[in-house]
Structure 1
Amino acid sequence: MASGITVRPAAADDADAIWSVLQPVFRAGQTYCVPRDITREAALADWHAPPFSVFVAEDAQSRILGTSHVGANRPGGGDHVANASFATAPEARGQGVASALCAHALDWAAGQGFRAMQFNFVVATNTGAIRLWTAHGFQTLCRLPGAFRHPAEGFVDALVMFRPL
């Protein structure tokens, strides 16, 4: 984990802090296939929806700087492959929060018996995330041409990334 960053399961009273992380990411519309005007309630319900477990990353002062959710990518025959999503507060970017969340997600998923982790839709313009996921052992398996409508760049590619656990 990055120095001073700890990851723990989210608690019910973390909802406001989680929303404060998710809201600017979702409003920007550059990395998630979520309506930019999604409500707080809908965003939190989606983030906490089964089969996902939610985690938060906090600094030494217990300030929540990021969040993740991790769970089965698909049910039934695909439930041995994990999926995860991550969000970092804008003011905490570049401080190792996403890396700590990713390392935690990989460890947690392996501990739950998952055999691999897959990211279904990494927006190709999100180069920092792609660099980070690659550093954590993910490979790009395919590129989906023009699959994401970026608010500034227009139609851009999305990547499917994968790594065994």
Structure 2
Amino acid sequence: MSAVSQENSYDIRPATDNDWPGIWSVLEPVIREGETFTWDRDTDEETAKAKWMKEAPGQTFVAVRSADGAILGTGEFHANQAGGGSHVANAGYMVGAQHSGQGIARALCAYSLKEAKAAGFRSIQFNAVVESNVRAVWLWQSMGFKILATVPEAFNHPEIGYVGLHVMYQKL
């Protein structure tokens, strides 16, 4: 899948092990900031790699700048549950702060919707969209996700305190 941002042309493709340094350069600042993901802010690189890199039927993927191969963002999807719940995917996306607002998160999400359906998933559920992350909430809603519930005060935001976590869903 190819896309053009305001400043960059990029492709979205499955990640390889060689992409990990670039993926980590995107993940680490988001994790340390602690404002949009429920991961421990002190998550080490080895733990992050084990959590982020998925195997089939899931997938980890990257948005790669066409000109130089730099990783601008990354995403992943996997079965939300095992057994009887394994037909529902869960997904996450992270974009480098310097590339925010260029349509990369939208492109990563669109890629995951297509690929998750092709992998046999029937829907995608986001378990924990931070309520105060209004740009992401708006974006996911604009892409067809519905808020099913909000768990009050389920996320301790490092600056504004306890906020809700949305559970969001889209049928594929």
> TM-score when scaled to structure 2?
0.92
Unmatched tracts of structure 2, length 5 or more: none
Match of 1:7 among 12, 30, 33: 12
Match of 1:163 in 2: 170
Deviations 1:88-128 (A, max 9, x none): 01111001110110000000011111111100000001111
C-alpha distance in structure 2 between counterparts of 1:2 and 1:128, whole Å? 20
Aligned pair count?
165
C-alpha distance in structure 1 between counterparts of 2:17 and 2:148, whole Å? 36
Equivalent pair of 2:54/2:60 in contact (CA under 8 Å): no
Look up the equivalent residue of 2:163 and give its one-letter code: V
Match of 2:119 among 107, 112, 120: 112
Match of 2:104 in 1: 97
Q: 5 Å matches for 1:1-165?
A: 2-3=3-4, 4-49=9-54, 52-61=58-67, 62-165=69-172
* SS of equivalent residue, structure 1 residue 5: strand
C-alpha distance in structure 2 between counterparts of 1:19 and 1:52, whole Å? 19
C-alpha distance in structure 2 between counterparts of 1:114 and 1:52, whole Å? 9
The runs of at least 4 aligned residues of structure 1 exceeding 4 Å deviation read none
Q: How much identity, in percent, do the aligned residues show?
A: 45
Unmatched tracts of structure 1, length 5 or more: none
Equivalent pair of 2:74/2:93 in contact (CA under 8 Å): yes
> TM-score when scaled to structure 1?
0.96
